[in-house]
Structure 1
Amino acid sequence: MNQHKPIKKAVFPVAGLGTRFLPATKAIPKELLPVVDRPLIQYAVDEAREAGIEQIIFVTGRGKTAIVEHFDVAFELETMMEERGKDMSVLEPTRATPGDIITVRQQVPMGLGHAIWCARAIVGDDPFAILLPDELMIANNGGTGCMKQMVEAYNEVGGNLISVLEVPEDEVSSYGVIAPGKTLSDTLTEVTGLVEKPPVAEAPSNKIISGRYILQPEVMRTLETQGKGAGGEIQLTDAMAKMIGNQAFHAVTFEGNRYDCGSKTGFVEATLALALEREDMGSEVRAIAERLLAR
């Protein structure tokens, strides 16, 4: 196996205002809205930990301190639960080891690329992962999570990687799409270009970028001098496109399900899908869904 500098840091851009979910997000960060009984951010952090990530970097904004508090120790709650003989294991994933979580502020909403650049001092000279919590990635049948699949691929090829999913060709114009090069395996493909929301007839493939990245630290230097792109924002896709050809760049096709929890319908879909898979409620939820559909 090739030796590459390990991926131990992950950046989570969580500064967005969540306006699509108002009024629910007026006082609660969107990332803390529950999918069944776990906040959206918890799924992403658990996925990173499974992949061997040790340092969690939250790029936050005003009103987002509750995200950090979620991963703190709640003394009063835990004392009460312990005294009453409640199961404490449910809180175990919410306890961060001291020093594992670092926050930086994105004071002005200038795009995903700018949010990532805000973490440059913590990333330093290390390769790092990026997880967009809005993209809920669930492995098939309890299998390997998306970021772990990517880390395993990185350990083989190094360089930069993005997760991709195949979608029907008539949907490609809604996403960033890769131009594929050489196929290395069923799930690993060389990337020769990135195209943002191409017309269907001009799309180089039906493989869309799906919210997980492993990037080399040089991307920070690219973002440093990069001007504004689409929407008047500093776009991460533009910075990655400049790295293609200068560094190895591959796409990992995720073997699992993706839910777009940046939209209300995607959030409802994720909640229903995950509830149906739960042993403690799946059959009851299925009966409820069938009863509602029969109306």
Structure 2
Amino acid sequence: MNKPIRKAILPVAGLGTRFLPATKAVPKEMLTIVDRPIIQYVVDEARAAGIEHIVFVTGRNKQVIEDHFDMAYELEDTLKARNKTAALELLEKHRPVPGATSFTRQQAPLGLGHAIWCARDIIGNEPFAILLPDVIIKSQVSCLKQMVDLYQNTGGNIIAVEEVPEDQTDQYGIVELDGELGANAHKISNMVEKPAPGTAPSNLMITGRYILQPEIFDLLSNQGKGAGGEIQLTDSMLALMKEQHFASLKFEGRSYDCGNKAGFLSANIAFGMDDPKLARELVPFMEEIIRKPLAAE
């Protein structure tokens, strides 16, 4: 029987330079999609998958993330005094239970692999999930829950993937497949980071959701610097692939890369349209905006 996936790592130490000056004092993970910070969507996805403990790997100036998932006594007392029951219930809904979060510091920007390695003692000797907080996924069933369901049948290591246009594969990490494992699931034989145009082994990009076995930590401990002079998670996954099973899951849903401005704005529109009241206000505005350049032509 496969060990359950109880813990997840969220690496949140990045500087968010693409959103300066907004991220000078506010972590990029706390920028809002409609009415929730980006990080809240990712945590909600993890909790919907049955994750019991979330490890945030932080850096300097990230204290507000910890505060967001803590109690706000003054605010809650004020809401109680004003009988704002709905607002209180909303805060309680999104607050983790005591002991369900840990925060550890990545003291230098040495790459994603190093950030994951920083959580090794908290994760221990059990499989775990990784959710990159730049990516939020809109789906009926939590993307990570879909991955956990596959893991329960296959064990090993799972990577979430989604299709990208053939002419864009050079912008992403791409998986190479080697046989089907079930609906939308395949065995992975290789991963290629930003393959040259026309050389990609598939059109399936790595989305930023992983289930990995704890042996990855030993590999990361001895992992030298790779691309960009950083310790790359992909390098250790390729080494682990020689010893363990890796599978891809083409999940049902759509991802939004909130690490870039177009993805961030797209996510705001997509999630905003889920609210009927907002949708009624947004649609006429978007139609007006779209018509303007056409009229100018």
TM bucket, shorter chain: over 0.9
Separation in structure 2 between the aligned mates of residue 166 and residue 92 of structure 1, nearest angstrom: 37
Per-residue CA deviations over 1:210-229 (Å, capped at 9, x if unaligned) read 00000000000000001011
**Distance apart, 1:294 and its partner CA:** 2.1
Question: Equivalent residue for 1:91?
Answer: 91
**Distance apart, 1:93 and its partner CA:** 3.3
* Equivalent position amino acid for 2:239 in 1: K
**Does residue 271 of structure 1 match 2:268?**
yes
In the alignment, structure 2 segments of 5+ residues that lack a partner are 293-297
Q: Check the 8 A contact 1:70/1:94 in 2, yes or no.
A: no
Question: Equivalent residue for 1:29?
Answer: 27
Separation in structure 1 between the aligned mates of residue 280 and residue 186 of structure 2, nearest angstrom: 39
Separation in structure 2 between the aligned mates of residue 291 and residue 75 of structure 1, nearest angstrom: 44
* Equivalent position amino acid for 2:195 in 1: P
**Distance apart, 1:279 and its partner CA:** 2.2
Separation in structure 2 between the aligned mates of residue 294 and residue 83 of structure 1, nearest angstrom: 48
Per-residue CA deviations over 1:82-122 (Å, capped at 9, x if unaligned) read 22122122212331211111011000001000000000111
Question: Equivalent residue for 1:120?
Answer: 120
2:273 is paired with a residue of what secondary structure?
helix
Question: Equivalent residue for 1:250?
Answer: 247
Question: Equivalent residue for 2:279?
Answer: 282
Question: Equivalent residue for 2:60?
Answer: 62
Q: Check the 8 A contact 1:11/1:56 in 2, yes or no.
A: yes
2:56 is paired with a residue of what secondary structure?
strand
* Equivalent position amino acid for 1:77 in 2: L
Question: Equivalent residue for 2:216?
Answer: 219
* Equivalent position amino acid for 1:274 in 2: F
Separation in structure 2 between the aligned mates of residue 184 and residue 294 of structure 1, nearest angstrom: 47
Question: Equivalent residue for 1:131?
Answer: 131
Q: Check the 8 A contact 1:178/1:193 in 2, yes or no.
A: yes
Separation in structure 2 between the aligned mates of residue 93 and residue 46 of structure 1, nearest angstrom: 10
**Distance apart, 1:285 and its partner CA:** 1.0
Q: Check the 8 A contact 1:72/1:94 in 2, yes or no.
A: no
**Distance apart, 1:187 and its partner CA:** 1.3
**Does residue 293 of structure 1 match 2:275?**
no
**Distance apart, 1:280 and its partner CA:** 3.0
Separation in structure 1 between the aligned mates of residue 217 and residue 64 of structure 2, nearest angstrom: 28
Separation in structure 1 between the aligned mates of residue 94 and residue 63 of structure 2, nearest angstrom: 15
Question: Equivalent residue for 2:14?
Answer: 16
2:276 is paired with a residue of what secondary structure?
coil
**Distance apart, 1:186 and its partner CA:** 2.6
- More moved, 77-86 vs 259-268: 77-86
Separation in structure 2 between the aligned mates of residue 133 and residue 93 of structure 1, nearest angstrom: 20
**Does residue 160 of structure 1 match 2:161?**
no
Please give the root-mean-square deviation of Cα atoms over the aligned residues, in Å: 0.9
Query: What is the number of residues matched between the two proteins?
Result: 290
Per-residue CA deviations over 1:9-37 (Å, capped at 9, x if unaligned) read 00000000111101111111110000000
**Does residue 237 of structure 1 match 2:234?**
yes
Question: Equivalent residue for 2:180?
Answer: 183
In the alignment, structure 1 segments of 5+ residues that lack a partner are none
Separation in structure 2 between the aligned mates of residue 255 and residue 135 of structure 1, nearest angstrom: 15
**Distance apart, 1:200 and its partner CA:** 2.5
- More moved, 184-193 vs 82-91: 82-91
* Equivalent position amino acid for 1:33 in 2: L
Aligned match for 1:170, one of 144, 150, 167: 167
**Distance apart, 1:282 and its partner CA:** 1.2
1:137-156 to 2 correspondence within 5 Å? 137-139=137-139, 143-156=140-153
**Distance apart, 1:185 and its partner CA:** 2.0
* Equivalent position amino acid for 2:106 in 1: Q
Question: Equivalent residue for 1:105?
Answer: 105
TM-score (norm 2): 0.96
**Does residue 199 of structure 1 match 2:196?**
yes
**Distance apart, 1:151 and its partner CA:** 0.4
1:203 is paired with a residue of what secondary structure?
coil
